[in-house]
């Protein structure tokens, strides 16, 4: 039987408000599952630097005055990882989904979030992919030199600094004809992923750069990665779509990847959701969700909090 997911377009809202809503929905999903089903919150944030549980102070490059002058706030968050940036022009998706009983696999869940972003990028003619094997590269990447193609093997080699690895081995080379090596991929992150699970109920999610002002990433060392870049659909040549348009186009991809019926709620339902979630949070035992064991343990131990990739 397919699961049902209700999607809510929240527009542009402050990070702390969205975080509070997420936490209320997680509490409600745990303590009132009959009233609260699976949801995905779709939105964009006001400019904010968020700090994961592994955040290093030196990875915030801008001082407090500079951040204030740019209208950028700083918020701590319960996800794993280091420092990242959110801002207007970025599609943020926060699924609040109970992965039980058939999807209790954290790595698969993270890969599914990446797949949704890969398919969205494909809708706009951009080929994107993942760099498996190294947790610091969690997220979705593109080759800025060739945004319409994605070669995972060559991209992995490039991420390891193996310049030109795997290039020049085409048909011409096999026929004994000199073949000029293709340039090494120029990797840039277009989609970030950061999640936290409590009792297999998800929180946080992904951020896809649509028409984001990428100068915000220069305020930080995103997720502690200095060597690779950041991209958006618009920097890759896509005519800037609205974030709401991209949010709507994400729905069939959520449906396909999560084998779910996904329906978009109307504006009245958004207000009702916030009110019901707030009431449920008040009724729930204090700190219940925070105290709940984080199931879906990673190989590192019990407690799952994967980093928000840059």
Question: Is residue 96 within a helix (H) or strand (E), and if so which, with residue range?
Answer: strand 90-96
Q: Say how far apart CA 10 and CA 22 lie, in whole Å.
A: 12
Of 167, 223, 231, 243, the active-site residue reads 223
Question: Token pair for residue 286?
Answer: 């204090």
Q: Verify whether residue 223 is a known catalytic residue.
A: yes
Residues near 83 by beta carbon (within 8 Å), at least 6 away in sequence? 49, 50, 51, 52, 55, 56, 59, 60, 220, 221, 222, 223, 224
Question: Token pair for residue 283?
Answer: 């009724």
Q: Say how far apart CA 190 and CA 169 lie, in whole Å.
A: 28
Residues near 152 by beta carbon (within 8 Å), at least 6 away in sequence? 129, 130, 131, 132
Closest CA to 85 of 207, 203, 204: 207
Say which DSSP state 292 is in.
Answer: S
Closest CA to 94 of 13, 34, 35: 13
Q: CA quadruple 38, 94, 307, 278: dihedral positive or negative?
A: negative
**Cα angle for residues 243, 246, 248 (degrees, 5° grid):** 110
Cis previous bond, 68, omega within 30: no
Q: Say how far apart CA 287 and CA 281 lie, in whole Å.
A: 10
Name the residues annotated as catalytic: 223
């Amino acid at each position: 039987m397919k699961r049902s997911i209700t999607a809510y377009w929240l527009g542009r809202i402050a990070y702390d408000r969205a975080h509070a809503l997420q936490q209320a929905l997680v509490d409600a999903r745990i303590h009132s599952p009959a009233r609260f089903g699976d949801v995905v919150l779709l939105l964009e944030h006001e400019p904010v630097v968020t700090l994961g549980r592994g955040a290093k102070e030196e990875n915030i490059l801008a001082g407090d005055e500079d951040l204030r002058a740019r209208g950028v706030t700083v918020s701590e968050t319960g996800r794993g990882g280091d420092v990242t940036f959110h801002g207007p022009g970025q599609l943020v998706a926060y699924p609040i989904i109970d992965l039980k009983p058939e999807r209790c696999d954290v790595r698969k869940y993270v890969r599914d979030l990446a797949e949704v972003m890969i398919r969205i990028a494909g809708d706009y003619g951009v080929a994107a992919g993942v760099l498996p094997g190294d947790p610091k590269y969690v997220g979705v990447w593109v080759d800025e030199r060739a945004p319409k193609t994605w070669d995972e093997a060559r991209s992995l080699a490039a991420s390891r600094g193996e310049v030109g690895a795997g290039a020049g081995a085409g048909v011409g080379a096999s026929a004994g004809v000199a073949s000029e090596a293709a340039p090494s991929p120029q990797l840039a992150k277009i989609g970030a992923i950061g999640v936290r699970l409590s009792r297999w109920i998800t929180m946080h999610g992904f951020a896809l750069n649509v028409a984001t002002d990428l100068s915000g990433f220069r305020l930080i060392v995103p997720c502690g990665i200095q060597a690779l870049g950041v991209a958006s659909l618009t920097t890759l040549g896509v005519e800037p779509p609205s974030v709401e348009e991209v949010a709507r186009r994400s729905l069939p991809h959520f449906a396909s990847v999560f084998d779910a019926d996904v329906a978009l709620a109307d504006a009245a339902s958004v207000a009702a959701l916030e009110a019901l979630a707030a009431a449920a949070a008040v009724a729930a035992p204090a700190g219940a969700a925070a105290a709940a064991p984080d199931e879906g343990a990673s190989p590192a131990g019990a407690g799952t909090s994967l980093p928000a990739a840059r």
